Chains A and B, each alone.
Chain A
């Protein structure tokens, strides 16, 4: 889907949709209670308008996530699975992987760890 996709930028979140209807959200910066509000609005707008069946959240540009980031993902997971779509997470940091495992969210949808070379430096 890399080749033929349209990328729309909305601050901390970009939305990429491929010709096959696959959708990818690229999240950037810190995902905390302060920042998730605006990200959530953009994501919900796109999910409501296009109802993509195969959705990827790419977290490789995320430098921090806490329980508010987990809440953001769980809320969107509920929405996507509600209309019959599937979600998967890629680019997950080691720290956020611990949170996903602790909550059991890693058993709800496929979760892929961030590769070494793409790791965000702090």
Chain B
């Protein structure tokens, strides 16, 4: 039997770092409809923060652009979160997803964002095209 979507939302906001906190609060508030436990809620919050921060920091690199976050809730207690930007895109997605890999030169990044998103969800897909943008999709099935 195919899972059925029971609710969905979409929001678009600017690539301002103040919106990192806004985005994770908005998504966790929406996901609360599925009645996640504390750990699941914390995993969702962290995952959204990683994806949105990447769009702001790497995708738009301090320039102003729009970030779209879409969330779909399903009748089998799973949810899908999609974060998209029209930023610089990623040359080599497979390499970018390796734990500890970062293009940041400041020494202030652990290169752990994708590894965290992967570990805190059930599936992670990254589609990106240099010069076009990046779409990160995660799904998570709640207990």
Chain A residues at the B interface, C-beta cutoff of 8 Å: 30, 32-34, 36, 40, 64, 66-68, 70-72, 74-75, 78, 94-95, 98-99, 102-103, 105, 122
Contacts and interface: CB of A to CB of B under 8 A. Distances in A.
B86 interface: no
A91 B120 CA distance: 21
A30 B21 CA distance: 8
Interface in B104-126: 107-110, 112-113, 115-116, 119-120
Given A68-B53, A68-B109, A78-B107, 16 more contacts: A32-B53, A33-B17, A33-B20, A64-B21, A71-B108, A71-B110, A72-B108, A74-B110, A75-B107, A95-B46, A99-B46, A99-B112, A99-B116, A102-B112, A102-B116, A103-B99
A32 B20 contact: yes
Contact of B45 (A34, A64, A94, A103): A64
B92 interface: no
Nearest to B42: A95
A71 B109 contact: yes
Contacts of B100: 103
B110 A103 contact: yes
Contacts of A70: 110, 112
Interface residues of B, number: 28
Interface of B: 17-18, 20-21, 24, 38-39, 42-43, 45-46, 49-50, 53, 56-57, 99-100, 107-110, 112-113, 115-116, 119-120
Contact of A66 (B17, B50, B56): B50
A71 B49 CA distance: 14
Contacts of B49: 32, 64, 66
Contact of B109 (A67, A94, A99): A67
A109 B113 CA distance: 21
A34 B18 contact: yes
Contact of B57 (A33, A64, A78): A33
Contacts of B39: 94-95
Given A32-B53, A33-B17, A94-B39, A67 B107 contact: no
Closest 6 pairs between A and B when the two form their complex, measured CB to CB: A34-B17, A95-B42, A66-B49, A33-B53, A67-B112, A71-B108
B99 A66 contact: no
